[in-house]
Amino acid sequence: MIQAAKQKKFQIVLCKSQSRFTRDMELVEKYIHGLFPIWGIRFIAVADNADTEVKGNKKARQINGLVNEWYLEDLSENVRMVFDLKRREGKYIGGFPIYGYQKDPADKNHIIPDPEAAEVVRQIFQWSLEGHGRQNIAYLLNQQGVPNPTQYKMGRGWTCNHPVKNDFGLWNKTTIWRILRNEMYTGVMIQGRRKKVSYKSKVIIDTPEDQWYRVEGTHEAIIDRATFETVQRRLRLRTKTDGSGEAHLLSGLVKCADCGSTMSKCSNGKQSYLRCKLYADSGQNKLCSRHSVRLDQLIDLVSERIRYYVQTYYELDAGDIQPQKDTRREALKQERKSIAVQLEKRSQALKTLYLDKVAGVISEGQFVELNESFLNEKSRLEQRLGKIGEELENREQPQQQADLMKKAQELLKLETVPRELIVGLIDCIEIGERNPDTGQQEVKVSWKF
């Protein structure tokens, strides 16, 4: 219609009301008061008595435009408020669940594991625990002919909301990274990671992590918490492989004692060594010395220290680690429940307040005043909730340490100390330069506990 108007194929735009043409004040000014007169188009809105041919009618059209835009803004806020309420309750409001889940046929706001995809997710996490890199995991899935999430959805008849980049259904390391980092696989509902800038714009921005909606225990977990945390520790190390797709046991942990650079792996064809990365990358003008150490000997040394450390730890504590009852932690949990209830009441009050304003029960001024008061109180409660979450997370450490040491006792029965245990116990390993006279070389292990 706009294109035809521009070509002057007609003379009148006739609407039931001005809002049927647009509720956007910017478009009112652009077309009704700007371009239409230039194009010789007369605009008529019957219900609003709006007519561009009537002198002095412009202010009425502008007022109608403002009222219509305010209505649209209020409607948008009301819809957003309802969605936020569902997010706080842990209800899933997305169009398609993440790979590994499907919507519950009995409740569209609840997700349940998709058996076929869930098994692929478990395999991805298992490969990551075994030391496979993201690229290698993608290669293994492609070798087995497993379709990627987009192709899997299309195969089940689910319409994807984004264009398909290729028709091959291949996995890539970015997709693997997103799956390994997604906490929703542990049974935690996380929503609100992105949002639209406003109701007038389609631009979507990322929201800070402290503003995400995070509700635990909303759906069945595919990955247990211990496995997920172990994988996260591995990912944070940013390990690199030697081309085989597998990282060595100490990858990302070994540092140069002098410059602090990560030690990189090299080989002479018979033995594998670690050397200072700054030395390897600096060309002829060496910025640091080699600090070279044989990888197999370093692994044996670290493994022996881990065994000694864990065995000594258990002897000192009589083989049993039982955290004392934390009354402060219990009090924080009770306060968290209380604040959650209060936030729910504030949300309901905001909805009621808006409905009262629309119904004319309260004036615009009363609405603004009460709305600001509710929002300030809500903000205060959310900040306190965040602080409680941080303190509870810190107080979980003794229990996590006990769980790790118990797991270590089982893992140490193996001949080779697994990387999972090494990552859980060691913060970093510093390698000094070898003394040319004595042949001695300092190896310093920094423990996490």
Q: What is the pLDDT of residues 427-441, one digit of tens each?
A: 888 999 888 888 888
Which part of the chain is CATH 3.40.50.1390?
2-80
Check pLDDT > 60 for residue 127. Answer: yes
Q: Note every long-range contact of 199-205, with CB atoms under 8 Å and residues 24 or more positions apart, other chains counting.
A: 199/72, 199/73, 199/76, 200/24
Which part of the chain is CATH 3.90.1750?
105-234
Whole-angstrom distance, CA of residue 276 vs CA of residue 406? 35
State the pLDDT confidence band at 169, using cuts at 50, 70 and 90: confident
Whole-angstrom distance, CA of residue 210 vs CA of residue 205? 15
Residue 262 or 122, more confident: 122
CA distances from 167 to 113, 147, 158, 202, 254 (A): 26, 10, 16, 28, 42
**Coil, helix or strand at residue 149:** helix
Residue 320 half-sphere exposure toward CB, CA atoms < 13 A: 3
Q: Which of 8-22, 43-57, 347-361 has the highest mean pLDDT?
A: 8-22
pLDDT tens-digit map of 180-228: 999 999 998 988 888 777 767 677 888 888 888 888 888 899 999 888 9
Give me the mean pLDDT over the 8-32 stretch.
85
State the pLDDT confidence band at 112, using cuts at 50, 70 and 90: very high
pLDDT tens-digit map of 140-155: 999 898 999 988 888 8
Q: Where are the alpha helices (DSSP H) in 31-133?
A: 36-39, 58-88, 115-129
Write down the pLDDT at residue 272: 86
**CATH superfamily of the domain spanning 2-80:** Resolvase, N-terminal catalytic domain (3.40.50.1390)
Judge whether 46 and 15 are in contact, CB under 8 Å.
Answer: yes
Tokens 């395999």, residue? 123
Give me the mean pLDDT over the 405-425 stretch.
66
This prediction has a pTM of 0.51
State the pLDDT confidence band at 318, using cuts at 50, 70 and 90: very low
Q: Where are the alpha helices (DSSP H) in 245-326?
A: 277-281, 295-316
pLDDT tens-digit map of 292-311: 888 888 888 888 888 777 66
CATH tag for 105-234 (out of 3.30.1450, 3.30.70, 1.25.40, 3.90.1750): 3.90.1750
Whole-angstrom distance, CA of residue 69 vs CA of residue 275? 65
Phi, psi of 275 (to 5 degrees): -140, 160
Whole-angstrom distance, CA of residue 417 vs CA of residue 307? 9
